[in-house]
Amino acid sequence: MKFQRQFINLQTLIKKLQILVKLDISILYRGIAIGFLAACPIGAVAILCTQKTIQKGFFQGFLMGLGSAFGDFFYAIVTGFSLSFISDFLVNHRVILGILGSILMLYLGWGIFMKNPVKQWKENKKADNVKSKRKILGDFVASFGLTISNPLTIIVFGGLFTASGAISKETPPLETSFLLLGVILGAIAWWALLAFVVNIFRNKIGPRHIMWINKITGLCVMIFGISVMITVIFFNDKL
């Protein structure tokens, strides 16, 4: 009886290996391309990522983008596995989510606009590890929340998946999982690249420039928030 169970387990393992051998690895590369393209458009998170990198360095800026990458990953899972009960809920409540997202953008934008970045930079040097960890987690959660507050991202991924021909109703779950793995890797690659490029020029920026960058960043994020609120309230039928 024990031998029979071991034989069945061996057969199952062989079948799984056969599936892996037949798996088209190019689907992973297509997923990376999709994730990179979905993360690329310049929005509130990209502006915040740039500002955080200039003010606090590569790691802080990258983590701001990482929250957005996981937000994109969430929507990619919903789209990839056709989780209609989640997508329907998010799309049906897009007005509420859009308003919440715009309020969050207004709050973040106003906070950045009013802060003195030079004074904050000095405070960051004196801050203990616990406070800095809380700020890092707060940045991650904020960017994740901004991304999640836009349910129309589902449509973006739906269009990218269809255009690439990477997924269909007949696509096996394992291939879909590899595609989604590629999506998160592609999104992470974009935010790492953005933070890296901005960080190169960071040392050339003085305190006065940082002050202006903060003001412009705060204004841009608030403008994004206002535009989102106007769109979801007055142009909801056209979305």
Strands (E), 5-154: none
- CA-to-CA distance for 80 and 132, rounded, in angstroms? 36
The answer to whether the CB of 103 falls within 8 A of the CB of 225 is yes
Q: Is 211 exposed, middle or buried (0-12, 13-18, 19+ CB in 10 A)?
A: middle
Instruction: Give the model's pLDDT for residue 134.
Output: 65
- CA-to-CA distance for 199 and 59, rounded, in angstroms? 10
**Closest-CA residue to 213 (of 49, 43, 39):** 49
Which secondary-structure segment (H or E) carries 138? helix 129-148
Check: pTM over 0.75? Answer yes or no.
no
Two tokens, residue 10 = 């061996």
- CA-to-CA distance for 34 and 136, rounded, in angstroms? 27
The number of angstroms, rounded, from the C-alpha of 99 to the middle of its chain's C-alpha atoms is: 19
The answer to whether the CB of 27 falls within 8 A of the CB of 166 is yes
- CA-to-CA distance for 92 and 54, rounded, in angstroms? 38
**Closest-CA residue to 147 (of 49, 215, 22):** 49
Residue whose structure tokens are 């051998």 = 21
| Distances, alpha carbon 16 to alpha carbons 2, 9, 11, 19, 192, in Å | 21, 11, 9, 5, 34
Q: Is 31 exposed, middle or buried (0-12, 13-18, 19+ CB in 10 A)?
A: buried
3-state DSSP assignment of residue 172:
coil
Q: What does each of the 239 residues of the chain score in pLDDT, given as a tens digit?
A: 544 554 455 456 545 544 554 556 778 888 888 889 888 876 788 888 888 888 888 988 999 999 999 999 998 888 877 765 665 666 676 777 777 878 877 887 887 777 766 555 555 545 544 455 667 788 888 888 888 877 667 777 777 776 766 666 666 777 788 888 889 999 999 999 999 988 988 877 766 667 777 788 778 878 877 887 887 777 666 55
CB atoms within 10 A of CB 30: 21
Instruction: Give the model's pLDDT for residue 185.
Output: 93
Instruction: Give the model's pLDDT for residue 191.
Output: 93
